[in-house]
Amino acid sequence: MLVKLISDFRECRMKYCGRFVAVVVIVAGWSILIPSDLQASVKPASQQAEAKLEKDCVAVTIGGGLFTRYKFASSQKYPYFWPVNGPASGKSVTTETSQPYPHHHSLFFGCDRVNGGNYWQEGIERGQIVSQGQKIIEASGKRVFFTDKCFWQQPGKEPIILDMRRVTISAPSESLRFVDFEITLEPLTNIRILKTNHALFSARVVPELSVKAGGTLVNAEGKTGEKATWGIASPWCDYSGTRDGVTEGVAILQHPANRWFPSRWFTRDYGFFSPTPMFWLKDDRLELAKGEKLTLRYLVVVHTGSAEEADIQGIFERYKKTAGSLWDSKATD
């Protein structure tokens, strides 16, 4: 009986082996057989996103797993996103606090030297960006969308700036996470910002992904590292590296409608990067009159693989055709 079973198995294997190989060859060669324009139109399905308002944060999940929290406790210097979890590892690609400069909180927006106040470094005695009202507009689906209203003020004083934030989060594929961040600053009095490298939208990656640990910092022109990217105007920069055998990264893209586009970058090999024009201001200051609104838009891309493998340049090409958020256009439908 055993001999017969073995014989039958061998016959069956020989009979269907050729068909199996043929199927493998067809599948493996699928991308070669499909015309390139059709390949470009094939997009993986987006993943379900969900946003919930919790104590002191908006928690966003992707496919049932935590992606990020937008934290806004009244004790914080400013609201910020943390963790910002990678698609493959499920671990944050940013650090909530780390040496040097522990006041870099993950993914955030702030500024120093505003009417003599400090809305950047730790401690609220010289200034704080205070969240006043978060509102979830779309709580679930292929995207989530929420807003926040913040006041820039010093303790015991009237606020000097009102900022309105619009955040749209999505996952167009298993390997990508998008955070569309739009902020409108409205001066409540005349504003003067003096020259500073501590300004506007910024990110601090975990030490394991930094250049010092073997990671890669690259801009849109292909220049790498702090020395080649610091002070250079570029539409985007990306930080990526390998941790526990998994390569992931995060990019910040500036929208072309932004004032100063493409802004120069303040970069550091220890893991910090920020598109900030405030270090290169004309006459070393920026004046904003009361009521003179300033809107800035950024796209954060959290991705698996390197910047090239994630096609950050291709994503930017689509992003720059939109009115701001990718969701304002059919470019990604």
- Is the separation of the CB atoms in 288 and 154 below 8 Å? no
In percent, the amount of the chain with pLDDT more than 90 equals: 80
Same domain, 187 and 255: yes
pLDDT above 70 for 11 = no
Same domain, 110 and 249: yes
State pLDDT tens for residues 264-277: 999 999 999 999 99
pLDDT band at 327 (very low <50, low <70, confident <90, very high): low
Residue-wise DSSP of 254-292: E-TTSTTSSPBEEE-TTSEEEE-GGGS-GGGEEEE-TT-
Look at residue 133 in the predicted model and tell me its pLDDT: 86
Please identify which residue in the block is written with the tokens 């003020």: 153
State the alpha helices, DSSP H only, in 129-208.
none
Same domain, 69 and 92: yes
State pLDDT tens for residues 223-264: 999 999 999 999 999 999 999 999 999 999 999 999 999 999
Domain of residue 233: give its range.
44-332
pLDDT band at 326 (very low <50, low <70, confident <90, very high): low
Between CA 240 and CA 105 the distance in angstroms is 18
Same domain, 97 and 221: yes
Point out which residues pair with 205 in neighbouring strands.
94
Vertex 107: Cα angle to 252 and 242 (nearest 5):
70
Same domain, 95 and 178: yes
Q: Name which of 312, 116, 91, 323 is nearest 205 in CA terms.
A: 91
| Domain CATH for 157 | 2.70.98
- The residue-averaged pLDDT of 305-333 equals 79
For 291-304, b/e burial (b = at least 16 CB within 10 A) is eeebbbbbbbbbbb
Residue 140 sits at φ, ψ, to 5 deg, of: -160, 160
Look at residue 318 in the predicted model and tell me its pLDDT: 96
Look at residue 27 in the predicted model and tell me its pLDDT: 31
**pLDDT averaged over every residue in the chain:** 87
Look at residue 323 in the predicted model and tell me its pLDDT: 75
pLDDT band at 50 (very low <50, low <70, confident <90, very high): very high
Look at residue 46 in the predicted model and tell me its pLDDT: 80
Residue-wise DSSP of 36-87: HHHHHH--PPPPPEEEEEETTEEEEEETTEEEEEEE--TTSSS-EEEEEB-T
pLDDT band at 295 (very low <50, low <70, confident <90, very high): very high
Same domain, 173 and 33: no
Same domain, 59 and 147: yes
pLDDT above 90 for 332 = no
Look at residue 333 in the predicted model and tell me its pLDDT: 34
- Give the helix/strand (H/E) hosting 318: helix 312-319
Same domain, 10 and 131: no
- Is the separation of the CB atoms in 53 and 148 below 8 Å? no
Task: Give the chain's domain count.
Answer: 2
pLDDT above 60 for 31 = no
Same domain, 241 and 127: yes
Same domain, 290 and 209: yes
pLDDT above 90 for 108 = yes
Q: Name which of 185, 204, 192 is nearest 266 in CA terms.
A: 204
Look at residue 38 in the predicted model and tell me its pLDDT: 25
- The residue-averaged pLDDT of 47-66 equals 97
Between CA 282 and CA 279 the distance in angstroms is 9
Look at residue 325 in the predicted model and tell me its pLDDT: 59
Same domain, 38 and 103: no
Size (the chain), residues? 333
Same domain, 268 and 222: yes
Taking the CA of residue 137 as centre, how many other CA atoms within 13 Å lie in the half-sphere pointing to its CB?
A: 11
**Between residues 322 and 13, the one the model is more confident about:** 322
The radius of gyration of the chain from alpha carbons, rounded to an integer in Å, stands at 24
- The residue-averaged pLDDT of 307-331 equals 81
State pLDDT tens for residues 158-197: 999 999 999 999 999 999 999 999 999 999 999 999 999 9
State pLDDT tens for residues 117-165: 999 999 999 999 999 989 999 999 999 999 999 999 999 999 999 999 9
